[in-house]
Amino acid sequence: MRSTALGLFAIIVAVLLMTPPVAAHHPIAAKFDPNQTVMLNGTVVGIDWANPHVHMFLDVKGATAITNWAIELESPFDLQKSGWSKDTVKIGDIITVQGNSARDGSKQAWANSVTIANTNRTVFTAAAGQPVRGNQATKPAPRWPDGQPRLGPLPGERGYWGNPSSTALVQSGANVQMDAYGQLRNFADIDKVAPFQRWARDLYELRQRSFLKSDPMFLYCMPPGGPRQFQLPYGAQFLEDREKQRLFVLIGSGNHNWRLIYNDGRSLKPDDKDFPTYYGRSLGHWERDTLVVDTKNFNEKFWFTNGGLPHTGELHLIERISRVDFDTLKYDVTIDDPGAYTKTWSANWTMQWIAGEELPPYYCQDNRP
């Protein structure tokens, strides 16, 4: 595996250099340059209210010609949470957009703020960082009649797990700063992230320096297998089928994919390894109040974490999931992948209960060409 990966590395470099502009949902820095600001005044001539990102089309009058710009904003769900609707900005409105221009020089911009000219009202300001997590007093974790903690909502109630305390995978004890997409703040921290084998380190650095633009989840809507399903902005929900001793993990980001964990004492079959999947094959059991999940047989067609950490078909995860109180889910993961890392390593974070809501209606791509 390692020799094959080393041999493929030059091919990967060439492919990344030829990658076309990102069309689907993407890390903002992959498409737009945060160091290149732009201020545009123009007339709205079109609005595309669709996932993954809402677009407004703006005619900007220059000295000799009118130029059409595509203005990209957050997803419909995020805009609605901040008070927007489809009618907040209308075709014909004159607006001012402050944002960042596209890296490829095309007439596209990521909006940091939108102001309507005739009212001088700012109707949009881009969110800065992760949502604020509350520190309010909480109740004990809810339990089933046999005393086992419930990972999902109580009967008749709604809710899901969101607002992860970390959106990147970094080995325990390391102090590494990244943005919400797993983009390093400082490339000098690469060796702190994980105990890389050399080829894996080089591939990780390449992905980082290309601003994560080769991420298969963003390019091709590939499922977020591995720990990544618990790092994404639209959360996860557990559906516990106790009668059949299995548990579904419903994933809010991507395309509302789901993962299945069997808790019925079965073992992996010898030929399972011949049919690797995006989520692997997960076998779980309870150790007191902690669900322990053993997962193997992953394919290599996805990124198993934000930020582009490599993995191989040898990836083996041990996840420990516990609801420490009503509003807090603790997630611990141990990564064993001798094809990519020099030793076993681990990481952990928490998620917050979002009460009274279902998983957000977000999809990777709403049939946008």
The string of DSSP letters for 85-143 reads -TTSS-TT-EEEEEEEEETT-SSEEEEEEEEETTTTEEEEE---SSPPPP----PPPPB
pLDDT of residue 99: 94
129 vs 5, more confident = 129
Domains, the chain, ranges and CATH? Answer: 22-125 (2.40.50.140), 159-355 (no CATH)
Q: Confidence band (pLDDT; 50, 70, 90) for 71? A: very high
pLDDT of residue 17: 35
d(CA 230, CA 305): 9
pLDDT of residue 130: 54
Q: Is a pLDDT exceeding 80 seen at residue 327?
A: yes
**What are the φ and ψ backbone dihedral angles of 289, each rounded to 5 degrees?**
-100, 15
Q: For the chain, first and last CA: distance in Å?
A: 36
pLDDT of residue 219: 85
Q: Is a pLDDT exceeding 60 seen at residue 52?
A: yes
Q: Confidence band (pLDDT; 50, 70, 90) for 8? A: very low
Return the minimum-mean-pLDDT range out of 75-89, 90-104, 220-234, 271-285: 75-89
- Give residue 354's identity as a one-letter amino acid code: I
Torsion of CA 133, 135, 137, 142, to 10 degrees: 40
pTM of the model: 0.85
Return the minimum-mean-pLDDT range out of 26-35, 45-54, 155-164, 209-218: 26-35
Calculate mean pLDDT across residues 190-218.
96
Mean of the per-residue pLDDT values of the chain: 88
- Find residue 178's DSSP bridge partners: 184
> Is residue 43 classed exposed, middle or buried when 0-12, 13-18 and 19+ CB atoms within 10 A define those classes?
middle
pLDDT of residue 56: 94
Percent of the chain with pLDDT over 90: 72
Indicate the pairing of strand 316-325 with strand 290-296: antiparallel
Q: Is a pLDDT exceeding 90 seen at residue 61?
A: yes
Q: Is a pLDDT exceeding 80 seen at residue 22?
A: no
**What are the φ and ψ backbone dihedral angles of 14, each rounded to 5 degrees?**
-65, -40
Q: Confidence band (pLDDT; 50, 70, 90) for 120? A: confident
Per the rule left: phi > 0, alpha: psi between -120 and 50, beta: everything else, 214 is alpha
Q: Confidence band (pLDDT; 50, 70, 90) for 13? A: very low
Q: Confidence band (pLDDT; 50, 70, 90) for 12? A: very low
Q: Is a pLDDT exceeding 50 seen at residue 329?
A: yes
316 vs 22, more confident = 316
